[in-house]
Structure formats: structure tokens, C-alpha cells
Structure 1
Amino acid sequence: MAIEVRPATVFADVKAMVGPKRPDANVCWCLSYRVPSKENLALKGTDRGDRVRELVAQDPPPGVVAYDGDEVVGWAGVHPRADTSFATNRRIPHVDDLDVWSVWCVRVRPGHRGEGISHRLLAGAVEFARHHGAPAIEGYPLDNEGAKIDLTMAYVGTRALFERAGFTKAADTDSVLNGFPRVLMRLDLR
């Protein structure tokens, strides 16, 4: 299997990973961390997909997509922290004043899990941030110490996933998801 990770510039491919089965459904679309909370709450139904279409057309786009040949198999949301809700999140600390990038979502399509795609996605997110001049990249995964995680909450990744990608713990957070604490993991790109 030759997984290729590319910038998320094709709306249909992003939609395949984060969009709903019904266009009018109010699902995340991976917007909850990418746009301000007030805007996220105001977007309903098809407006959510329309907003993602706008983000995909921007430079840089809102993340990276993994492909197995022509098949879309994964997504990672990654962007400058200043353009995400992490810029003002009181539960996730700022380690310093660097213009870091944040990776907040790593999703693998059902039927492709357990194939190492999340590792490829995280590596692709790191390269994407590096290519765009990021001095460092952060993630805010669960510190589950190997315990099983509900798959709907696994989108933030695990501390072990980030450690295998070379990230180190930079800080504790006040954020808890699915009963597990989230930690701030960081990788220097300079």
C-alpha cells in the first residue's frame, strides 16, 4: 500500500472524509476548531459544507488528505493556530509566542483503520506545516496510557501517536475528552 498525503484542495475528497451522508445534516465538517465558536454554532445544514468549500479554496487549505491510489482514506485538520479556536482556547495553554501550527483532527476511513494511515497523515501534516514555514507544530491528543478510546473521540489522536511522530509533551492542559486528559504535544520544525 502506497499512501500519499496531499494538501486538501479537492472539496469532494474533504467531503468524503468529514461531510455528512445527508447534505443538510449538522455534523462537524471539522469546523469546530477551525472557525470561531460563534460562527461554528451559527452554521447550519448545507452552510457548513459551503464554508468548508471556501476554506478548501484558500491558501493554505485547511488540512491534508490521504490517498490509497485514487481512493480517499484519511484526513488531518492542520493550520496556523492563530486561525483556529486554539488561539483563544483557555483550556489549551500557549507554550510561547511562536506562530505555531495546530493539528486537531486525524481521521481514517472505516475499512482502512489499523493500516498505519494515521501515522502517514500526521507525518503529512508535519510536512505541510513545514512547507508553509511553520516554526513548530502542536497537537492536543488524549493521554490514554494505552486504554481503549471510543472511536468517535479518537479524532484528536493519542499521545503515543504523536510521540512516534517525534513530538514531545510540552504542557498539560485543562481539557478532557472522553474521560482522558489531553496533553499539548509539540514538534520543533526549525
Structure 2
Amino acid sequence: MSFSAKPLDDTTWSQFATLVERHNGVWGGCWCMAFHAKGVGAAGNRAEKEARVREGHAHAALIFDGAACVGWCQFGPTQELPRIKHRRAYEEGLTSLPDWRITCLFSDKAYRGKGVAAAALAGALAEIARLGGGTVESYPEDAEGRSVAGAFLHNGTLAMFERQGFQRSRKIGKHRWVVAKAVAPVPGFTLI
């Protein structure tokens, strides 16, 4: 399939919101807020996410099939996305914080298994380069040799990240890894 990527901003908010609403707020009303600072709960997550997007404090690469938004990859500076799973194990091996985190990928249930997550990851890396580049970190799951439902791979697979040039750093869960990659900036742009 042929997809296009666009940044999540005030011009793409309505397409993002339509996708999230079609999936019951995603994971029971998360609205992709779980990795931001303290959440406000399912009832307030939509308004909080919209406010963050309009203020430029929420980032994602949205994936489109024509005019329809069919998935995304959330990313942001570490201070924008301070919450991660397996924090204790993460902090035990921490030497320095990355410039950027990739925390969440989502694909419309009708598009799962069709390359949306890989396109979203590539879109996020392109946006990070446009925004100044730097060290990018994520926390994918190693699904090699295991059957894992796509709906539960909100951090993506280790294999997908490795295909994009990420290197394993350390394990932080039974099947979860810290991976990192340096992304060069696009000339003429600076880190936000």
C-alpha cells in the first residue's frame, strides 16, 4: 500500500481525532496521553491532547491512506514524554537521557499488518530530522518466535526498529528493549 505521512498539528487534528474516536479513544480513552506527564483520565484526555497539539507540545507522524488517517507514531522530546513502562529497569541502566522518545504506535484495526507502523516510524524519524535531529530512543517488544496480537504492540516490534537502523542498548523487561539511533538534522532547522 502507498501511504503518506503528515505531522500531527492543528491542521491534521480532526483526522487524528476521527481515528481515535473510531477506536473508542484508543485503549479505553487514552488518546495517546499515557506517556505525557500525569494524565487527566479518560474523560479529560481528549481535551488535554487537543490543547497540547494546538500548543505544539504533542508530536506524532500521522499516516494517511488518501484522506483517511490510518495510524500514527507518537514521539517527542524527553520532557514532553517523561512516562515510560518498566521505569525502574530503565533507570538502572541509564547513562544519559535521549533528545527524543518514540513511545507509541497505533494502526487502524482495518490496516493492521499492512505496513502502517513501519510507515509511521519512518515518518516520525523524518519529522525528528526536520525538527533538529538528535538521539532517538524507543522501547519496542521482541516478538521474534512468539505470537503477539498487533493490538498489543503499542511500542512496535524490535525487528521493525532494527530495520530502521536502531541498535539494542539493554533489556528492560522480559521481551522489551531500549533501542537508540542518532538522527541527523535536516539542514536549516534546529532542535525545538
Secondary structure of the 1:156 match is: coil
**What SS does structure 1 have at the residue aligned with 2:175?**
strand
User: 5 Å matches for 1:125-136?
Assistant: 125-136=124-135
Matches within 5 A, 1:154-165: 154-165=153-164
Specify the alignment match of 1:167 in structure 2: 166
Task: Report the CA distance between 1:15 and its aligned residue.
Answer: 1.8
The residue identity in structure 2 corresponding to 1:14 is F
Cα gap change, 1:6 to 1:60, in 2 (>3 Å) = farther
Matches of 1:48 and 1:60 in 2, distance apart?
A: 14
Could you say which residue in structure 2 is the equivalent of 1:181?
A: 175
Structure 2 Cα separation of the partners of residues 150 and 22 of structure 1 = 18
Residue 70 of structure 2 corresponds to which residue in structure 1? 73
Amino acid at match of 1:50: A
Residue of structure 1 equivalent to 2:17: 15
Q: Partners in 2 of 1:33 and 1:2 — Cα distance?
A: 29
Kindly provide the CA deviation profile for residues 20-50 of structure 1, in whole angstroms up to 9, marking residues without a partner as x.
Answer: 6667x9521111112x2xx31x4341x2100
Distance 2:8 2:58 in 1: 6
Q: What is the Cα deviation at residue 149 of structure 1? A: 0.9
Q: How many Å apart are 1:90 and its aligned residue?
A: 2.8
* Count of aligned positions: 179
Q: 1:181 deviation in Å?
A: 2.1
CA distance in 2, matches of 1:5, 1:58: 21
CA drift of 1:169 comes to: 0.4
Tell me which amino acid in the other structure corresponds to 2:2.
A
Asked whether the 8 Å contact 1:141–1:159 carries over to 2, the reply is yes
How far off is 1:103 after superposition? 0.8
Choose which of 50, 53, 58 in structure 2 pairs with 1:56.
53
Q: In the alignment, which residue of structure 2 is the partner of 1:106?
A: 105
Tell me how far apart the structure 2 counterparts of residues 140 and 21 of structure 1 sit (CA, whole Å): 23
Query: How far apart are residue 157 of structure 1 and its match?
Result: 0.6
Contact 1:81 / 1:87 at 8 angstroms: preserved in 2?
no
Q: Deviations over 1:89-122 (max 9, x none)?
A: 3332465435421111111112212221211110
1:145 paired residue number: 144
After superposition, the Cα gap between the structure-2 partners of 1:181 and 1:22, relative to the gap in structure 1 and judged at 3 Å, is: closer
- The TM-score, its normalising length taken from structure 1, stands at 0.82
Distance 1:155 1:26, change over 3 A: closer
Unaligned runs of 5+ in 1: none
Greater displacement, 77-86 / 87-96: 87-96
Structure-2-length-normalised TM-score? 0.81
Stretch moving more, 153-162 or 98-107: 98-107
For 1:150 and 1:124, the matched residues in 2 are separated by 23
User: How far apart, in 1, do the equivalents of 2:34 and 2:62 lie?
Assistant: 18
